[in-house]
Amino acid sequence: MSFLKYNEKVNKIYLKNLDLSEEDNIIRQEIFRQGAIGFSLDEKKERYMELNAMVEGINRDLSLEAMTDKISETAFRLIGRRKGNCILYLADDRTQKISIVKTKKEDPGLVIKAKEGDIFDTWVSRHASPLLVEDIKKDFRFDLGKIDAQPAIGSLISAPFISAHRFLGILRLEHPQPGFYSLDDLRFLSTICDTGAVALENSQLFQRTQELAIHDELTGLYTKGYFMERLKEELKRSQRQGRVFSLLMLDIDLFKKYNDKFGHTAGDMVLRALSANTSGFLGQTSPVVCRFGGEEFCAILPGIDKEGACRVAEDLRRKIEEIKINLRRQESAVTVSIGVSGFPEDAQDAEVLIIKADRAMYEAKQEGRNKVFCAK
């Protein structure tokens, strides 16, 4: 065999080996791709099963606390792999400003500075669109000088909660490492937020319904029914912890004259003014204040004994006496009679405490009104 023919044969074998190597590489890539697809499908199946579990959990408890915890926990576990941070913001209905209501963190001791969001959250709310930042340092859309991140953020994904074109909040995941999140992660986060938006709206409606059920429509104070529940709770807590509390019973003096002289609208103005001033003055005592019925009001003062409550009641009486209300262009004054009872000094039963405070208030009226009497 000539040297030339030998070289031709060697070259053919070499080219054949190259072809075989290329086929081998293609087969290996296909095997790897098929394996990756299988893993991806399994992962997606698990994610959507967990999403279904999230929805079932939300439907069992419509409270805002439980619902936001379930949503953020699902995102942090399935997408974040419990790494980095997950932050859930809710928007104020009136101002549309966002604030943090729930966080999940790899480092429990970490303090997140952006309580009202940052430039990334502004982008999401403004565009009403999901956001993927694979590498913050290379993303031309954002000015790094305006980022005050703690710890340093390498990558993040974020999606809005939107229901019926109404912006409700943002769910965001962040990690120090660039490229930590994928486009699939962003799609799944968007799905969580689409589902969560409906749950959020339902939760907010439920919360408003609950608030309407426990608040007096005219004054905004608690209703008598809710107040009685809180009084019984305070009684049990105080018995368990060995602490004191007091009860105030207030009644507007000669309230009927406002309705007779100026009409029921004027009477409503008096009730609203008294409610606002009572709540405002007693605010420092962490009270539970209710409209007990008609022109009567009740207040629980936790941690204050009867002697201290009597001083508070006297200061409140003077404060109310100074109030001037314009009723049909006439400046009118309002006074109240107040009765005070204390736990455990006067009673260890909710009903008896109310009866004793009511009797003391009646004595104040009998003695000329605009007075404070303590239970004997």
Q: What is the pLDDT of residue 57?
A: 75
- Cite the active site residues: 295
Prediction pTM value: 0.56
Residue pair 339/357 in contact by the 8 Å Cβ criterion: yes
Q: What three-state secondary structure class fits 357?
A: helix
Reported confidence tier of residue 207, pLDDT bands at 50, 70, 90: confident
Considering the four listed CATH numbers 3.40.50.200, 3.30.70.270, 3.30.450.20, 3.30.930.10, the one that applies to the domain covering 224-374 is: 3.30.70.270
Task: List pLDDT tens digits, range 96-142.
Answer: 899 999 999 998 888 787 788 889 999 999 999 999 999 988 888 88
Backbone angles phi, psi at 35, to 5 degrees: -65, -40
Q: What type of residue sits at position 227?
A: F
**160/127 Cα distance (integer angstroms):** 9
Radius of gyration for the alpha carbons in the chain, expressed in angstroms and rounded:
33
Q: State yes or no: pLDDT of 5 exceeds 70.
A: no
DSSP string, 85-136: EEEEEEE-TTT--EEEEEEEESSTTPPP--TT--HHHHHHHHHTS-EEES-G
Same fold, 46-207 and 224-374: no
Q: What is the pLDDT of residue 3?
A: 43
**15/158 Cα distance (integer angstroms):** 51
Q: Where are the domains of the chain?
A: 46-207, 224-374
Considering the four listed CATH numbers 3.40.50.1820, 3.30.450.40, 3.40.190.10, 3.40.50.10540, the one that applies to the domain covering 46-207 is: 3.30.450.40
**Residue of 338, 313, 336 whose CA lies nearest to 249:** 338
Task: List pLDDT tens digits, range 137-164.
Answer: 888 888 877 666 555 789 999 999 998 8
Backbone angles phi, psi at 245, to 5 degrees: -160, 165
Pair of tokens at residue 260: 């007779």
**81/74 Cα distance (integer angstroms):** 10
Stretch 346-362: mean pLDDT, rounded? 94
What percentage of the chain has pLDDT greater than the value 90?
52
**231/247 Cα distance (integer angstroms):** 9
